[in-house]
């Protein structure tokens, strides 16, 4: 029997590296340290190993402690194909954590060592959602897990303690609405809808990268400047004033041409449309999963507020907020650490 | 009476600077030199004056020759508001062409000097479409002018020699479908549609900047690598092979996961949807303009092929290709030079 174990969990995405160092006493977890580093991998993939090292130093982990890792950054256009991306990321991990035991989470819900991961790279692609789902399935046996992040939303059916997705690849999950490529920070409104009402008409959008949903939720007061962790589209400030200027540009206007009320109505409308987008995806997932009874939704992520609204909009009453204090708003990293703790316990 | 006049026409956009040096003998124009410089102004607006100088040197204009200018770059998020953008661009023009007479085209269809333009900056915003329309109106008294560019499409009704738009601002023109923010190079497919058919299902898109319509038309053979004048989304090559890799990523897949046929079907579908988008806008413009007889469409721009398809798809038979040899694929710059030639002739 082990008394206390410390394990590091990693979620290596295309725009953020998140990590947590967690101590377990039996089933009781305590997050010692959590780290989140914004890192857009396509700007300079060769920096990945260094960024992992820096994040690791911030975690203050000790060499002998194991690392559990989920990877999604392989989708980045820094890599020609996912296979190439996974190999690259594995190599960066090896450079960053030379003497530490590293376990790569796979799409079967188990762990590979580096050799196994190198042999089956596609089994290590886009695994973060599965780590979260497996972990939550241990706690909430029947639920829909909704994790709304900066960029994407995972909607995962859990039935009798099992993750019951039909498909495990990104493309398969997109088709099934279990992955919705829509989040509360980086999403361009163009990806949600193509027009807004303006002065009793419908105004189409400029198809540019002028603004993101982070501006919308900053204007509406749903997020703070601290939560706005992605860069602004125009490199200006994370203030409501600058966010309004960015949002006005979405319809080729500016803050002289539109009133504040008009811009804020645009924000309200876009938020509503994104809520509907998530609501519809939840309905589809519910229909496919065919639960025999009413089940709760578990909401988490930077956009947990949106997940809750989307669920309530379709009449779901039972909404459980996965306490972000437990995982420091990084459920996948925390989950993979937790799953690795179980895995090692069984070895 | 003047025997021959030489005039320089400029079209200063947010992603391209285009210019032509044109010699007139009466009404007969001859383009002496045409220049097109890709310049994404938001990366470094302070380089604008230098870029204008370089373009001017390439034009080989003489100091005393007049310049006619249309501006659209003020919409860039390099500027807080359009007013600021116009002032900035006027200042760059003054630096670049210190001793030359410069005429700024305005939304009334006339010309301002620098002082007048500085006083009425919003009258100088987004004027390139009006220059084209005014020029074409002299040649085709009744028509719809469709200029499909890299980024946007202008659909402009011309009736009895007059441009009959109700609105002249970008936002007003978006609402009226006279400006469609959709072009054949830079447009992200997310801005046109949100899913593609795949293996008998509908697959939603990744809301990222993974690919553009330039990849679609390169794959389909509608454009060449030379015509593909914008940067690729992943900074890789302008080859069909790399374009297919980018397009696959739009649905979180890659060239190992999808077959070539599947990727090419995606391209075909996206091209079809963009054609429908332009067709619908043409129908709306036609309905609003209420022509009393059947009129031709005049198509031009890098995407003239798409304009023609969109027009034919709704049963328009009479399609006139504005000969790109006459304006070197830069109708606005050529048009503003032509309008300035008339204007100066009348002074």
Write out pLDDT tens, residues B125-141: 999 999 999 999 999 99
**Predicted pLDDT of residue B147:** 96
Q: Which of A82, A190, A251 sits opposite B191 (nearest CB)?
A: A190
Q: Which of A170, A201, A205 sits opposite B252 (nearest CB)?
A: A170
pLDDT band of B236, cuts 50, 70, 90: very high
Q: What is the pLDDT of residues B156-179, one digit of tens each?
A: 999 999 999 989 999 999 999 999
Q: Which of B78, B181, B192 sits opposite A206 (nearest CB)?
A: B181
**Predicted pLDDT of residue A26:** 82
Q: What is the pLDDT of residues B316-344, one digit of tens each?
A: 999 999 876 566 678 999 999 999 999 99
Distance CA A143, CA A298 (A): 7
Any CB–CB contact under 8 A between B287 and chain A?
no
Indicate the range of A150-154, A173-177, A325-329, B49-53 predicted with least confidence. Answer: A325-329
**Predicted pLDDT of residue A82:** 97
Mean pLDDT (whole number) for A258-266: 98
Q: What is the pLDDT of residues A153-170, one digit of tens each?
A: 999 999 999 999 989 999
pLDDT band of A328, cuts 50, 70, 90: low
Interface of B with A in 108-127 (CB under 8 A): 126
Q: What are phi and psi of A284, to 5 degrees?
A: -65, -45
Distance CA B227, CA B303 (A): 10
**End-to-end Cα separation, chain B, in angstroms:** 12
Domains of chain A: 4-126+330-346 (3.30.420.40), 141-316 (3.30.420.190)
Q: Which of A207, A246, A257 sits opposite B77 (nearest CB)?
A: A246
Strand partners, B146: B155, B299
Q: Residue B207: its chain A contacts at CB < 8 A?
A: 151, 181-182, 187-188, 191-192
Q: C-alpha distances in angstroms, A156 versus A132, A136, A162?
A: 9, 10, 10
pLDDT band of B4, cuts 50, 70, 90: confident
Distance CA B276, CA B271 (A): 9
Q: Among all chains, which residue has been given the structure tokens 């593609």? A: B196
Interface of B with A in 14-33 (CB under 8 A): none
> To probe the interface with A, which of B80, B85, B166, B213 has the most A CB atoms within 10 Å?
B80
Instruction: Give ipTM to 2 decimals.
Output: 0.95
Say if the Cβ atoms of B175 and A210 lie within 8 Å: no
Distance CA A342, CA A9 (A): 13
**Predicted pLDDT of residue A329:** 75
Any CB–CB contact under 8 A between A107 and chain B?
no
Alpha helices, H only, chain B = 48-59, 82-96, 114-119, 128-139, 170-175, 213-220, 240-249, 260-289, 304-313, 324-327, 331-346
Dihedral angle at the C-alpha atoms of A89, A92, A93, A95, nearest 10 degrees? 160
Q: What is the pLDDT of residues B95-124, one digit of tens each?
A: 999 999 999 999 999 999 999 999 999 999
> To probe the interface with A, which of B42, B44, B77 has the most A CB atoms within 10 Å?
B77
Q: Residue B190: its chain A contacts at CB < 8 A?
A: 188, 190-191
A200: nearest CA in chain B? B175
**Predicted pLDDT of residue A156:** 98
B177: nearest CA in chain A? A204
Say if the Cβ atoms of A75 and B179 lie within 8 Å: no
Contact B271, B148 (CB under 8 A): no
The answer on pLDDT for A2 being more than 60 is no
Any CB–CB contact under 8 A between A83 and chain B?
yes
Contact A342, A134 (CB under 8 A): no
Any CB–CB contact under 8 A between B91 and chain A?
no
Q: What is the pLDDT of residues B256-281, one digit of tens each?
A: 999 999 999 999 999 999 999 999 99
Q: Residue A262: its chain B contacts at CB < 8 A?
A: none
Mean pLDDT (whole number) for A60-83: 97
What does the DSSP assignment read for A59-116? HT--TTS-EEEEE-GGGSTTSSSHHHHHHHHHHHHHHHTTTS-EEEE-TTSSEE-HHH
Say if the Cβ atoms of B81 and A256 lie within 8 Å: yes
Q: Residue A174: its chain B contacts at CB < 8 A?
A: 203-206, 251-252
Calculate what percentage of chain B has a pLDDT beyond 90. 94
Element (H, E) at B179: strand B179-180
Any CB–CB contact under 8 A between A182 and chain B?
yes
Q: What is the pLDDT of residues A6-48, one digit of tens each?
A: 999 999 999 999 999 999 998 889 999 999 999 999 999 999 9
Q: Which of A82, A194, A252 sits opposite B254 (nearest CB)?
A: A82
Give the other-Cβ count within 10 Å of A307's Cβ.
29
> To probe the interface with A, which of B196, B254, B303 has the most A CB atoms within 10 Å?
B254
> To probe the interface with A, which of B167, B174, B239 has the most A CB atoms within 10 Å?
B174
**Predicted pLDDT of residue A241:** 98
Distance CA A303, CA A301 (A): 5
**Predicted pLDDT of residue A105:** 98
pLDDT band of B86, cuts 50, 70, 90: very high
pLDDT band of B290, cuts 50, 70, 90: very high
**Average of per-residue pLDDT values in chain A:** 95
Q: Which of A77, A205, A245 sits opposite B181 (nearest CB)?
A: A205
The token duo for A185 is: 């920070």
**Predicted pLDDT of residue A256:** 96
Residue A211 CA to its chain's centroid (Å): 20
Distance CA A23, CA A30 (A): 5
Any CB–CB contact under 8 A between B4 and chain A?
no
Angle between helices A331-346 and A128-139 (to 10 degrees): 70
**Predicted pLDDT of residue A134:** 97
pLDDT band of B240, cuts 50, 70, 90: very high
Print burial letters for A311-343: b (CB count within 10 Å at least 16), e (below 16): beeeebeebbebeeeebbbbbbbbbbbbbbbeb
**Predicted pLDDT of residue A346:** 85
**Predicted pLDDT of residue A325:** 59
**Predicted pLDDT of residue B328:** 66
Q: C-alpha distances in angstroms, A239 versus A66, A217, A253?
A: 41, 11, 19
Higher-pLDDT residue of A243, A326: A243
Q: Which of A188, A194, A246 sits opposite B207 (nearest CB)?
A: A188
Q: What is the pLDDT of residues B174-203, one digit of tens each?
A: 999 999 999 999 999 999 999 999 999 999
Q: Among all chains, which residue has been given the structure tokens 């039935």? A: A159
The answer on pLDDT for A261 being more than 60 is yes
pLDDT band of A4, cuts 50, 70, 90: confident
Q: Kindly provide the residue ranges of all beta strands, DSSP E only, lying in chain A, ordered along the sequence.
A: 4-12, 16-25, 28-38, 67-71, 102-105, 111-112, 143-148, 153-159, 162-163, 179-180, 195-198, 201-204, 297-300, 319-321
């Amino acid at each position: 029997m082990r008394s206390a174990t410390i394990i590091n969990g990693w979620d290596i995405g295309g725009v953020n590296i998140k990590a947590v160092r967690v101590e377990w006493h039996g089933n009781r977890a305590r997050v010692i340290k959590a780290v989140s580093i914004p890192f857009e991998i396509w700007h300079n993939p060769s920096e990945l190993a260094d960024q992992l090292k820096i994040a690791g130093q911030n975690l203050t982990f000790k060499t002998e402690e194991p690392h559990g890792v989920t990877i999604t950054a392989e989708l980045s256009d820094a890599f020609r194909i996912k296979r190439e991306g996974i190999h690259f990321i594995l190599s960066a991990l090896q450079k960053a954590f030379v003497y530490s035991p590293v376990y790569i989470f796979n799409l079967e819900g188990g762990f590979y060592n580096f050799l196994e991961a190198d042999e089956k790279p596609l089994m290590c692609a886009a695994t973060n959602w599965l780590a979260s789902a497996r972990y939550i399935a241990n706690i909430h046996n029947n639920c829909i897990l909704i994790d709304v992040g900066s960029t994407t939303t995972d909607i995962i059916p859990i039935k009798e303690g099992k993750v019951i997705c039909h498909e495990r690849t990104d493309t398969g999950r997109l088709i099934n609405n279990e992955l919705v490529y829509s989040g509360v920070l980086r999403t361009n409104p163009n990806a949600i809808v193509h027009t807004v009402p303006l002065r009793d008409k419908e105004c189409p959008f400029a198809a540019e990268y002028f603004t993101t949903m982070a501006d919308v939720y900053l204007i509406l007061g749903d997020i703070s400047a601290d939560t706005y962790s992605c860069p602004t589209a125009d490199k200006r400030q994370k203030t409501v004033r600058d966010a309004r200027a960015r949002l006005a540009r979405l319809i080729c206007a500016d803050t002289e041409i539109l009133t504040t009320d008009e811009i804020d109505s645009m924000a309200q409308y876009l938020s509503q449309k994104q809520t509907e987008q998530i609501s519809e995806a939840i309905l589809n997932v519910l229909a496919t999963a065919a639960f025999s009874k009413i089940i709760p939704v578990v909401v988490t992520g930077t956009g947990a507020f949106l997940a809750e609204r989307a669920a309530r909009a379709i009449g779901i009453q039972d909404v459980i907020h996965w306490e972000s204090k437990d995982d420091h708003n990084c459920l996948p990293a925390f989950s993979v650490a937790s799953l690795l703790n179980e895995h090692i316990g069984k070895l």
